[in-house]
């Protein structure tokens, strides 16, 4: 009986730890893309892994003429975030719909991921769902 209770407690702890993890694939608020969040050299990034418009969708709004023809699949929307308390901050978010880059912060809110783009004192926050 003690073994069963111990195994159940371990399973609950494991599930709780997993639910607090930002890493994995997330569906954007609009539902038109999926972003995989991963860590590299102590920094957090998020790259596009699926687009509703298809895998050949180009980065046409990028202000750098050399990048307008690149495919968006594989492009990092999120870059350079570091953990500070319950949030990941100090990074950037790229908006392929406008071609603009903003400061960024992300954090878990229950089972959802809050993604905030920041420009000066203004900000906009999206809610992403786990895939």
Residue 16 DSSP class: H
Asked whether the beta carbons of 22 and 129 are under 8 A apart, the reply is no
Any idea which residue has 């769902």 for tokens?
129
Provide the pLDDT confidence category of residue 131 given band limits of 50, 70 and 90. very high
Give the integer Cα–Cα distance in Å for 28 and 22: 14
The per-residue DSSP string of 53-122 comes to T-TT-B-TT-SSGGGTTSBSTT-EEEEEEEEETTEEEEEEEEETTTTEEEEEEEEEETTEEEEEEEETTE
Provide the pLDDT confidence category of residue 12 given band limits of 50, 70 and 90. very low
Domains of the chain, first to last: 22-130 (2.40.128.520)
Any idea which residue has 């790229």 for tokens?
94
Task: State mean pLDDT over 98-113.
Answer: 98
Pick from 94, 93, 97, 102: which is nearest to 61 by CA?
A: 97
Provide the pLDDT confidence category of residue 8 given band limits of 50, 70 and 90. very low
User: What is the token pair recorded at 87?
Assistant: 């949030």
pLDDT tens per residue across span 61-90: 999 999 999 999 999 999 999 999 999 999
State yes or no: pLDDT of 11 exceeds 60.
Answer: no
Residue 4 DSSP class: H
pLDDT tens per residue across span 16-52: 444 469 999 999 999 999 999 999 999 999 999 999 9
Helix (H, G, I), strand (E, B) or coil at 28: coil
Q: What is the pTM of this model?
A: 0.84
């Amino acid at each position: 009986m003690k073994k069963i209770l111990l195994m159940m407690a371990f399973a609950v702890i494991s599930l709780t730890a997993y639910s607090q993890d930002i890493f994995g694939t997330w569906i954007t608020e609009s539902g038109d893309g999926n972003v995989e969040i991963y860590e590299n050299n102590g920094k957090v990034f998020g790259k596009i892994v699926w687009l509703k418009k298809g895998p050949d969708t180009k980065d046409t709004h990028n202000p750098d003429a050399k990048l307008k023809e690149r495919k968006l699949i594989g492009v990092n929307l999120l870059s350079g975030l570091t953990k500070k308390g319950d949030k990941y901050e100090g990074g950037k978010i790229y908006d392929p719909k406008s071609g603009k880059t903003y400061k960024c912060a992300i954090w878990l809110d229950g089972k959802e991921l809050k993604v905030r783009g920041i420009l000066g004192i203004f900000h906009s926050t999206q809610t992403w769902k786990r895939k």
